[in-house]
Structure 1
Amino acid sequence: MRWLLASALLAILLLLPEVVRQWQHLPAQHTLQERKLASVRGEPETPSMRDNQRGTVVVPGTSAPLTEAMVQQAVGKRSEQESSYISIWNWQGLESVTASARGLDKLHHFANSYLVGFQPFETKALWVPLYTLATRKEYQYDHLQYAGLADIWQTSRQAYYQKRGDCEDHAILLADWLINLGIDARVALGTHKGQGHAWVIAIVDDTEYLLEATSKRRQSTWQAMPLAALAEGYEVEFQFNRDYFWAKTTSAPTRRYRGKHWIKKSQFIRG
Structure 2
Amino acid sequence: MRLLLGLLLFSLLLISLPEILQQSQPPEEVLLIQRQMRTAESSEDAGREDNQSGTVVISGTSSPLTESMVQRAVGAQPEERSSYISIWDWQGVKTATASARGLDSLHHFANSYLVGFQPFETDALWVPLYTLATRKEYQYDHLQYSGLADIWQTSRQAYYQKRGDCEDHAILLADWLINLGVDARVALGTYKGEGHAWVIAVVNDTEYLLEATSKRRQSSWQAMPLAALAEGYEVEFQFNRDFFWAKTTSAPTRTYRGKHWVRKSQFIRG
Give the TM-score of the pair, scaled to structure 1.
0.83
CA contact (8 A) 1:155 1:169 kept: yes
CA contact (8 A) 1:210 1:227 kept: yes
**1:23 aligned onto 2:3:** yes
CA contact (8 A) 1:131 1:219 kept: no
SS at match of 1:105: coil
CA contact (8 A) 1:114 1:154 kept: yes
**1:226 aligned onto 2:206:** no
* Separation in structure 2 between the aligned mates of residue 250 and residue 49 of structure 1, nearest angstrom: 41
Matches within 5 A, 1:191-230: 191-219=190-218, 221=220, 223-230=222-229
Kindly state the Cα deviation for residue 164 of structure 1 after the two structures are TM-superposed: 0.1
SS at match of 1:23: coil
CA contact (8 A) 1:128 1:220 kept: no
* Separation in structure 2 between the aligned mates of residue 61 and residue 214 of structure 1, nearest angstrom: 36
CA contact (8 A) 1:208 1:227 kept: yes
* Separation in structure 2 between the aligned mates of residue 219 and residue 178 of structure 1, nearest angstrom: 20
CA contact (8 A) 1:183 1:204 kept: yes
**1:258 aligned onto 2:238:** no
Q: Which runs of 4+ in 1 moved over 2 A?
A: 22-27, 45-49, 218-223
CA contact (8 A) 1:176 1:185 kept: yes
Q: Assess, with a 3 A threshold, how the Cα gap between structure 1 residues 224 and 237 changes in structure 2: closer, same or farther.
A: same
Q: Assess, with a 3 A threshold, how the Cα gap between structure 1 residues 195 and 203 changes in structure 2: closer, same or farther.
A: same
**1:97 aligned onto 2:77:** no
Matches within 5 A, 1:1-271: 23-25=3-5, 48-219=47-218, 221=220, 223-271=222-270
User: Which structure's relative contact order is higher, taking Cα pairs within 8 Å and 6+ residues apart?
Assistant: 2
Kindly state the Cα deviation for residue 219 of structure 1 after the two structures are TM-superposed: 5.0
| Aligned partner letter, 1:255 | R
| CA displacement, residues 3-60 of structure 1 (integer Å, 9 cap, x when unaligned) | xxxxxxxxxxxxxxxxxxx935579xxxxxxxxxxxxxxxxx9873310000000011
| Aligned partner letter, 1:241 | N
* Separation in structure 2 between the aligned mates of residue 186 and residue 246 of structure 1, nearest angstrom: 10
SS at match of 1:245: strand
Give the TM-score of the pair, scaled to structure 2.
0.83
Kindly state the Cα deviation for residue 116 of structure 1 after the two structures are TM-superposed: 0.1
What is the aligned residue count? 233
CA contact (8 A) 1:186 1:201 kept: yes
| Aligned partner letter, 1:267 | Q
SS at match of 1:259: coil
| CA displacement, residues 216-240 of structure 1 (integer Å, 9 cap, x when unaligned) | 0125655311100000100000000
CA contact (8 A) 2:6 2:166 kept: no
Q: State, as a whole percentage, how many aligned pairs show the same letter.
A: 83
| CA displacement, residues 169-193 of structure 1 (integer Å, 9 cap, x when unaligned) | 0000000000000000000000001
* Separation in structure 2 between the aligned mates of residue 206 and residue 223 of structure 1, nearest angstrom: 18
CA contact (8 A) 1:131 1:220 kept: no
* Separation in structure 1 between the aligned mates of residue 129 and residue 69 of structure 2, nearest angstrom: 36
CA contact (8 A) 1:127 1:220 kept: no
| Aligned partner letter, 2:112 | S
CA contact (8 A) 2:113 2:155 kept: yes
CA contact (8 A) 1:175 1:187 kept: yes
* Separation in structure 2 between the aligned mates of residue 219 and residue 205 of structure 1, nearest angstrom: 25
* Separation in structure 1 between the aligned mates of residue 6 and residue 219 of structure 2, nearest angstrom: 31
